[in-house]
Copies of this chain bind each other. A is one copy, B any other.
Amino acid sequence: MDAAVTNKEITIKDVAKQANVSVATVSRVLNGRDRVSDATRKKILKIIEELNFVPSTMAASMVKKKTNMLAVVVPEIQNPFYTAVIGGTVEIANNEGFFTIVISTNGNETEEEEFFESFLSKNVDGIVLIGTHREAGFYRNIRKPTILVDRYINDSGHDGVLIDNYRGAYEATKHFVDYGHERIAIIDGEHDFNDGKDRYWGYRQAMLEGGLTPDPKYHKQGKWLEEDGYRFAMELLQAEQPPTAIFAANNVICKGVIRAVRDLNLQIGEDISLIGFDENELAQFVQPRVTVVARPTREMGVQAAEMLIQKIKGEPKEQAKPKKVILDVELMKYGSVKKLK
């Protein structure tokens, strides 16, 4: 007698009753696999329409053990690099019939762990992960199909989509060298992931090949923050012997550098040469545009989603060996590097 008016969810049973068939048959037309006579199919379809019935994907997931949900886990949701990756992933996922949960770990290992323990491992079919953890053990514990993006951890046991950070940094630095620069500074951050480390070593290698010795006082390490870019650029540019060129090893550092240059009333490409890593709006807006190592951000998300879905759909056969897909970077010469001599 209670809740007569309540918006009671209608279920497959209601449809079956109305249509005078069994739930099994309704289920059949829902899934479209088994054959059902045209007459009953039409009848059922009509009732579904009338009753405005929407099957519970949850109930289905429970028996199928497939949720059709992916998770994409990023350290931070406001950084345009991450939203680009998310965008690429979401697009492919939707095309393939998957929904996507977006989770931000705030670059916090504890939060990351909690998410994995409590939820992900049970309720999604696969994960696109831009990890915060540094130890391989954490990744090996993830027993779901997972693709690591951008930050790759060796021995994690998962596939990865990365870019050639080493080469990007190498090309950038070599460009400086080719244009006659000798006092070339690099602003980066901690080297606890492959990406940051590789960029530094690419820089270093190009220096050495150019007959230059990397000078510690031109290597500024912060935390990969815009503020670091600003602060270190200020320091460098006001030093007794300022560098003639700065390599900003990620997109937000580059922003900071640009601000510093502006605040010191200097001219990019004239008073100081600059190359950034990764496109960013500011860098492309200033005059002259800042030369950057461009990476295919959105494409990384696309690749990751494609690999992930293939893995989910594919045989659960023994995975040969974790596969790394390395996408190309390109040095976009926009004119912020001055030719010396």
Residues of A within 8 A of B (CB): 7, 54-59, 61-62, 67, 69, 77-78, 80, 83-84, 86-87, 90, 99-104, 117-119, 121-123, 143, 258-259, 262, 281-282, 285, 287
Contact A78 B80 (CB under 8 A): yes
Q: Which of B86, B101, B259 contacts A101 (CB 8 A)?
A: B101
A59 and B57 in contact (CB under 8 A), knowing A77-B87, A103-B99?
no
**Residues of chain B lying within 8 A (CB to CB) of residue A282:** 281-282, 285
Contact A122 B56 (CB under 8 A): yes
Contact A262 B287 (CB under 8 A): yes
Complex Cα distance A117/B282, Å? 40
Contact A121 B80 (CB under 8 A): no
**Residues of chain B lying within 8 A (CB to CB) of residue A285:** 258-259, 262, 282, 285
Contact B101 A143 (CB under 8 A): no
Copies of this chain present in the complex amount to 2
For A103, give the chain B residue with the smallest CB separation: B99
Contact A78 B87 (CB under 8 A): yes
Complex Cα distance A122/B11, Å? 11
**Residues of chain B lying within 8 A (CB to CB) of residue A143:** 7
A78 and B67 in contact (CB under 8 A), knowing A61-B58, A99-B103, A282-B285?
no
Contact A104 B90 (CB under 8 A): yes
Contact A123 B57 (CB under 8 A): yes
A58 and B67 in contact (CB under 8 A), knowing A99-B103, A259-B285?
yes
For the A-B complex with A57-B119, A59-B62, A90-B103 known, give 8 more contacts whose Cβ atoms are closer than 8 Å: A54-B118, A62-B62, A77-B86, A83-B83, A87-B104, A99-B103, A262-B287, A282-B282
**Residues of chain B lying within 8 A (CB to CB) of residue A55:** 122
Q: Which of B83, B99, B122 contacts A77 (CB 8 A)?
A: B83
A122 and B83 in contact (CB under 8 A), knowing A90-B104, A102-B101, A143-B7?
no
Q: How far is the CB of A101 from chain B (nearest CB, A)?
A: 5
Contact B84 A122 (CB under 8 A): no
Q: How far is the CB of A286 from chain B (nearest CB, A)?
A: 8
